[in-house]
Amino acid sequence: MWPFRRREHAPAYTDIEPQEAHRRVVKGAVLVDVRQPSELNALRIREAVNVPLAELETYAAGLDSTTPVMLICASGNRSRKAAKRLADLGFIDLSNVRGGVNAWRRAGLPLER
């Protein structure tokens, strides 16, 4: 009998480092911060669009599914969930910023308080 191996599905998004996300933002890429508005009071990325995770599907309905979208949160957990949700909606160019805003700050990238 031929041995079958279970194929793992390729991730529907890629993880990128904050430096790469910043490079893309400078070139005009969409960065979506899925934190709650109250979390933005501490630190926020000026170019990021704030779309709380609970409102993601509504926001996505206004985007072309081929639009490159980067997602960020505080640590990378909620943005990973957001990337999976957008992939399920048919988005094809998704990135999760590894480590979130915390990693962005540690990398010394621009933030507003």
Cα dist from 95 to 5, 28, 73, whole Å: 28, 15, 12
| pLDDT at residue 36, rounded to an integer | 96
pLDDT tens per residue, range 46-92 = 999 999 999 999 999 999 999 999 999 999 999 999 999 999 999 99
Phi, psi of 110 (to 5 degrees): -65, 135
Q: Which of 92, 102, 38 is nearest to 72 (CA)?
A: 102
For residue 63, count CB atoms less than 10 angstroms from its CB and return exposed for 0-12, middle for 13-18, buried for 19 or more: middle
Residue 86 among the catalytic residues? no
Is the pLDDT confidence value at 9 over 90?
no
pLDDT tens per residue, range 14-33 = 999 999 999 999 998 999 99
Residue with tokens 């993880």: 15
Domain architecture of the chain: domains with CATH: 14-106 (3.40.250.10)
* Eight-class DSSP state of 75: S
pTM, rounded to two decimals: 0.88
Catalytic residue among 73, 74, 82, 94: 73
Is the pLDDT confidence value at 6 over 80?
no
